[in-house]
């Protein structure tokens, strides 16, 4: 997919790969890793940044894994 990163001066579109949660979990299973916890960081309205949609939609997820 094509994205534009808005937090720096270079606003040219870049190619990115969209991985679904299902795809991540399949790879974890194939690698014999167990999902311990999934964190979906969200921005807060009291932060000194002008967020676009990050307060409602987590732009990334952090997966904590362990050996299955």
pLDDT, tens digit (0-9, with 9 covering 90-100), for 13-55? 999 888 999 999 999 999 999 999 999 989 999 999 888 899 9
Q: CA angle, corner 42, sides to 10 and 3, nearest 5? A: 30
Contact assessment for residue 23 and residue 17, using Cβ atoms and an 8 Å cutoff: no
Q: Which pTM was predicted?
A: 0.71
């Amino acid at each position: 997919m094509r994205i534009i990163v808005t937090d720096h001066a270079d606003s040219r579109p870049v190619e990115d790969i969209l991985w679904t949660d299902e795809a991540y979990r399949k790879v974890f299973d194939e690698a014999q890793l167990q999902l311990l916890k999934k964190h979906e960081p969200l921005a807060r309205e009291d932060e000194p940044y002008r967020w676009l949609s990050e307060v409602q939609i987590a732009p990334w997820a952090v997966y904590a894994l362990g050996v299955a």
